[in-house]
Structure 1
Amino acid sequence: MTDTTTSPATPTPPTRTPLTLLGAGAMGTALARAWLAAGHPVTVWNRTPARAEALGAEGATVAASAAEAVAAHRLVVACLLDDDSVGEALADADLTGRDLVNVTTGTPEDGRARAAWAKARGARFLDGGIMAVPPMIGVPDSGGYVFYSGSAALFEEHRETLAVPAGTSYVGDDPGFAALHDVALLGALDGLFSGLLHAFALVRREDIAPKEFAPLLVDWVNAMTPAAHQMAEQLESGDYGKGVVSNLAMLVSGNRIMLRAAEEQGVSPELITPLMWLSARRLADGHGDEDITGVVELLVRRG
């Protein structure tokens, strides 16, 4: 009797998109390791060769120059020091037909100018703003993600590859929008840290343990942050008097107490006075019945 039994075919591993990574600093190295772990062939270049060689030991192909690295693959990711570094690294590279994804930290105008520069050299372009620190890269559910803006076609084609190190959020075809979202959120974080530091300074000389005070800060900040939704609604409607709970007149009056308390505690008020000054200006302009959201109008330069 003839045995017609056949063994199941061994599944062919899915083909992973190869890519080039320019930059092997802390963030670049984290990105490279995430792609390598997921099975993507990675060619890497770094101005300081030793950092790239460390990734070579982990499976990456090390290129001798940025131009050589760019020639290796169509998808090119730049994660360098600043926008000037991107221009310098790619000065001698042939970008014709390449998909350039720049996750180097920059400004909105950096993104727009680099997009025009890339287009003139025959490349599609996507700018990125990384909302994560290196230890969050390649870690599922870490909360890290990257804003992307620019070529929608490029983003859609490489979406799965870009999502390997961190989540992705496409915010529009304007190449400056990724950086704009990035710096806007970082600006909010600076304001948050200013408030936290001022609060700790107030209790610093008292018999109040910082570790016991911290949970109160966290709970309070978490309770207040949904105010951003009301601010957004007021900004879109232009009605700063809508849904007001504590109007500007009340807040400015309360600021006097805040300043007195800081003086009594021997604490400099310099982290909190900028908003106080702006609030007082807005009040003096006749907006005492409105919410604090109207201060935005004093921040945005016209013309």
Structure 2
Amino acid sequence: MNATTPVTVLGLGLMGRALAEKFLREGHATTVWNRTAARAEPLVAEGAELAGSVADAVAASPLVVVCVLDYDAVHALLDPVGDALDGRVLVNLTSGTSEGAREMAEWAAGHGATYLDGAILSDPDGVGTADAVILYSGPRAAFDAHEPVLKLLGGATTHLGEDHGLASLHDVAVLGLMWGVLNSFLQGAAVLGAAGVTASAFAPLATTSIKMVADWVNGYAEQVDKGEYPAPDATLNTHLASMNHLVHESESLGVNAEFPRFVKALAERSVADGHGADGYAAMIEIFRKPSATRE
């Protein structure tokens, strides 16, 4: 497909609007649809075509991009018009699960469509920039055919593999990383705040420390892949002793200690499994095990 391939965008929330705006700016004939049609007015003013129905929107373009709340919302939109997808490439940039992505791929194939699942690791303002990370999984041939168009959405556009679930799996892995870092910062800010230190004053040190920890990731990844956990800097026993300090400080200052207690409990389990003399990467063995209960 060439750089002027017509594109349809279903869903005009903050992210959906950003996607449509980028396609328009790059000269694509862009058809849009949203449950609340008024949201499309700024895009129509820029040259987008507002479809009167989902079926009309799907029929307008060989490449259909959907970005809505969740996979249930995708099905609510597309199930009634599934036959209109015949011969088209459906790119789903809605956040979901790997199971949902695989099920959606099977559903799309049953209606004659080729399915690519995707994940946007950027905020709406970052769409179309060199730093925006957009992950895709599904048939390589379909990705290659539309890569020039899809790359417009982010400079760091990556095809992860044929397994439709890979984009969603990477997405949740990165979300877990984000929450872990942010929760740790907030815990530290709460502890320091109890001593009168502002979060703004803590932020520069936190940023430096986060970058330092980020430099460890590649080395930890090698250990995880090899299943060997040397401890050139500190053993898990040493980390556990420091965790006790954070729990004690939090509790003595009247700060919620649930998060550091949880981390400490995981480390204690790893030590009990015989990893006390290993490096911190040995904790992967705890995370690889199924949890005792599932919601």
Return the letter of the residue paired with 1:92: P
Shift of 1:302: 5.5
Shift of 1:249: 1.0
Match of 2:105 among 101, 105, 115: 115
Please name the residue that 1:239 is paired with: 228
Structure 1, residues 222-241: CA drift from partner, whole Å, max 9, x if none? Answer: 1111221122111111112x
Structure with the largest fraction of helix: 2
Structure 2 residue 170 is the aligned partner of structure 1 residue 174: no
**SS of equivalent residue, structure 1 residue 81:** coil
Return the letter of the residue paired with 1:194: N
Q: Structure 1 regions of 5+ residues with no counterpart?
A: 1-13
Shift of 1:243: 4.6
Please name the residue that 1:278 is paired with: 266
**SS of equivalent residue, structure 1 residue 164:** helix
Structure 2 residue 115 is the aligned partner of structure 1 residue 125: yes
Please name the residue that 2:256 is paired with: 268
> Is 150-159 or 47-56 further displaced after alignment?
47-56
Query: 1:59 & 1:132 partners in 2: Cα distance?
Result: 25
Query: 2:118 & 2:64 partners in 1: Cα distance?
Result: 13
> Is 210-219 or 174-183 further displaced after alignment?
210-219
Query: 1:104 & 1:301 partners in 2: Cα distance?
Result: 29
Bigger radius of gyration: 1
Shift of 1:301: 3.4
Return the letter of the residue paired with 1:231: Y
Please name the residue that 1:65 is paired with: 53
Shift of 1:52: 2.2
Return the letter of the residue paired with 1:251: H
> Is 242-251 or 40-49 further displaced after alignment?
242-251
Please name the residue that 1:85 is paired with: 73
CA contact (8 A) 2:134 2:153 kept: no
Query: 1:227 & 1:99 partners in 2: Cα distance?
Result: 40
Please name the residue that 1:76 is paired with: 64
Please name the residue that 2:287 is paired with: 299
**SS of equivalent residue, structure 1 residue 146:** strand
Structure 1, residues 75-96: CA drift from partner, whole Å, max 9, x if none? Answer: 1001111101111111232111
Shift of 1:145: 1.7
Seen in structure 2, the aligned counterparts of structure 1 residues 301 and 243 have a Cα distance that, compared at 3 Å, is closer
Structure 2 residue 125 is the aligned partner of structure 1 residue 135: yes
Query: 1:82 & 1:207 partners in 2: Cα distance?
Result: 42
Return the letter of the residue paired with 2:46: E
**SS of equivalent residue, structure 2 residue 275:** coil
Structure 1, residues 149-168: CA drift from partner, whole Å, max 9, x if none? Answer: 00111111111111112131
Please name the residue that 2:188 is paired with: 199
> Is 127-136 or 159-168 further displaced after alignment?
159-168
Please name the residue that 1:53 is paired with: 41
Query: 1:136 & 1:288 partners in 2: Cα distance?
Result: 43
Structure 2 residue 213 is the aligned partner of structure 1 residue 217: no
Structure 2 residue 217 is the aligned partner of structure 1 residue 228: yes
Please name the residue that 2:14 is paired with: 26
Query: 2:29 & 2:111 partners in 1: Cα distance?
Result: 25
**SS of equivalent residue, structure 1 residue 105:** coil
Seen in structure 2, the aligned counterparts of structure 1 residues 285 and 301 have a Cα distance that, compared at 3 Å, is closer
Return the letter of the residue paired with 1:259: V
CA contact (8 A) 2:8 2:64 kept: yes
Shift of 1:263: 1.9
Shift of 1:49: 1.3
CA contact (8 A) 2:138 2:161 kept: yes
Please name the residue that 1:6 is paired with: none
Superposition CA RMSD, Å: 1.6
CA contact (8 A) 1:244 1:290 kept: no
Seen in structure 2, the aligned counterparts of structure 1 residues 77 and 185 have a Cα distance that, compared at 3 Å, is same
Please name the residue that 1:250 is paired with: 238
Return the letter of the residue paired with 1:44: V
Shift of 1:294: 2.1
**SS of equivalent residue, structure 2 residue 258:** coil
Query: 2:28 & 2:236 partners in 1: Cα distance?
Result: 55
Please name the residue that 2:86 is paired with: 96
Q: Structure 2 regions of 5+ residues with no counterpart?
A: none
> Is 198-207 or 28-37 further displaced after alignment?
198-207
Shift of 1:53: 3.1
- Displacement over 4 Å in runs of 4+: none
Give TM-score scaled by structure 1 length: 0.91
